Structure 1
Amino acid sequence: MYEDICVPLGCHNPFHDHHDESRLSKLVDTTDPAFHSIAEVLADMASARVEFTPEIIDAAVKAGRARHARETTIPTLPHQPGPEAVAGSVVYYIRRGNLIKIGTTTNLRRRMAALMPDEILAVEPGDWVLEQQRHRQFGDQRISRQGEYFFPGPALRRHVAEVRATHGAPPADLPRLAAASRDWAQPLAETRRTV
Structure 2
Amino acid sequence: MGQRLNIEIHSGDNVLANAYYHWSGYTRSSIELAKRIVADHDKVQEENQTLRAIRLLELTGARLTNVEIEHAKSVGLDNQFEPADSRNAGLIAISEKGMAETQLWEEARVTIDLADNTVTFDALWSYSKEEYVDNYSQEEYEKLGEWSHDQDPTEPMSFEALDAFSQYIDDTIDGGSYTLKFTKDDEPSVVGFIE
TM over 0.5: no
The structure in which a higher percent of residues are helix is: 1
The structure in which a higher percent of residues are strand is: 2
Q: Scaled by the length of structure 1, what TM-score is found?
A: 0.27
User: Which structure is higher in RCO with an 8 Å CA cutoff and minimum separation 6?
Assistant: 2
Q: Scaled by the length of structure 2, what TM-score is found?
A: 0.27
Larger radius of gyration: 1
